[in-house]
Amino acid sequence: MAVKYKSIAIIGRQNTAGAAKTLAALIKHLQAKKINVALEHDTATILPNCKIPTIPREKLKDNCDLIVVVGGDGSLLSAARIAALQNLPVVGVNRGNLGFLTDITPNNLAKIDEILAGKYLEEYRFLLTVKTKNQKKSTTQSLALNDITFFSYVTGRMIEFAVYVDQQFLCNYRADGLIIATPTGSTAHALSCGGPILHPALENIVLVPVLSHNLSSRPIVISAESQIEIVFDESNLSNLLILCDGQTQTNIHSGPIKISKAKERLRLLHPTNYNYFETLRTKLNWEKKHRCQVPTIDNDC
């Protein structure tokens, strides 16, 4: 079987249960296929006695043509921001809980062989970028695959802010915060706050208020090409926080903040039998039985 991907970097997280065992099995499996394998620098600490090369995250592009992530969705989210910046494809091996983004199970590593041979489904998932001002008034920028969330870090404190979409006023909110999510992130925090599920092929962004004081406040879906601007009441600026994918954290020192679709995209690889709706049914424990049959269409009508 011809191999399309010959050099692989593996990324995992220390606090992921069973990661070390799966990492060791994956390395052994790939080396048996004569694949060049390296560990991302921080991942190497999980297997301190493993005698294979290590690579800093910022230099993965120079040393591999595919990233394999071992862990849950959190692990893949962390790797995705690096992969997108370096235009590297990513495949996930699930060692987490839900695993919306990590398709391959540890007991079915043979699925990776198909991907190595070029037999896979490739998706392009867009990311969001948020621009803020730091204490020195210079602009900082962060990426998110799932969502950008802002709130007060004073527990239970409501904040007041206005939202503009393409320079048009949307509305003023008094709420605990706001979630700005991609279709990828629509099944994460946005869903738990009452937001809709967006198919990953859609080019849309969903805005979901968190515990809004106005009971008529509802999530709204807008174009992914829209430019979003958040303006805060001055009394809030001393204790505001932005989270990107729940992982990278930034204090807001001055407003407004600007959010838009990033130019980078994540190249996410799936096995050929990947089915998004099957993933939803499985992960969200939806009804799986076919109680209604699809009617036969008479082509002669």
For the annotated catalytic residues, the residue numbers are 73
Question: Residue 62: how many CB atoms within 10 A of its CB?
Answer: 9
Going through 41-167 in order, the beta strands assigned E by DSSP cover 54-55, 66-71, 89-94, 121-133, 139-144, 147-152, 159-165
Tell me how far apart the alpha carbons of residues 56 and 79 are, in angstroms, rounded to a whole number: 12
3-state percent breakdown (helix, strand, coil) of the chain, nearest 5: 20, 40, 40
Structure tokens at 192: 């738990």
Tell me how far apart the alpha carbons of residues 179 and 190 are, in angstroms, rounded to a whole number: 6
The closest of 250, 265, 267 to 139, measured between CA atoms, is 250
Instruction: Give the H or E element holding residue 256.
Output: strand 254-270
Give the CA radius of gyration of the chain: 21
In contact, 230 and 259? CB cutoff 8 Å = yes
In the block, tokens 């092929």 appear at: 201
